[in-house]
Amino acid sequence: MRRVTLVSLPLFGMLLAAGAAFAAPPHTVTLAVENMTCGTCPIVVKKALARVPGVSSTSVDFDKKTATVTFDPDKATSEKLTQATTAAGFPSKLIGKP
């Protein structure tokens, strides 16, 4: 019967923590979104943005016609975000980093 030692678990934890130290901090950007004309439009925009790998949160403001998106810059870019909204029928452009 083989014995399993737990000595390697702290080393494994340190390696995981070290890997996390190299991850880029999340980015947050604001997009100006066109063609939002009804209350359903922000839902479609939000879903399109949520499908982009690396997006962690999205807030769409119908009145201001904007979307604020937080994402992992190692997995997503602002270009991918604007492509996603455009593909859903809502062209957008980067207007700021809050």
| CATH value at residue 71 | 3.30.70.100
Residue 51: which domain range? 24-96
Residue 74 inside a domain? The answer is yes
Number of domains in the chain: 1
Query: What are the two backbone dihedrals, phi and then psi, of residue 17, each rounded to the nearest 5 degrees?
Result: -65, -40
Q: Does residue 12 belong to any structural domain of this protein?
A: no
When pLDDT is cut at 50, 70 and 90, the band that residue 27 belongs to is very high
What's the pLDDT tens digit per position in 53-95? 999 999 999 999 999 999 999 999 999 999 999 999 999 999 9
At 69, list the tokens: 């998106």
Cα distance between residue 4 and residue 90, in whole Å: 56
Q: With cut-offs at 50, 70 and 90, classify the pLDDT of residue 5.
A: low
Say whether pLDDT at 2 is over 70. no
Terminal C-alpha separation, the chain: 59
pTM over 0.95: no
Higher pLDDT, 12 or 74: 74
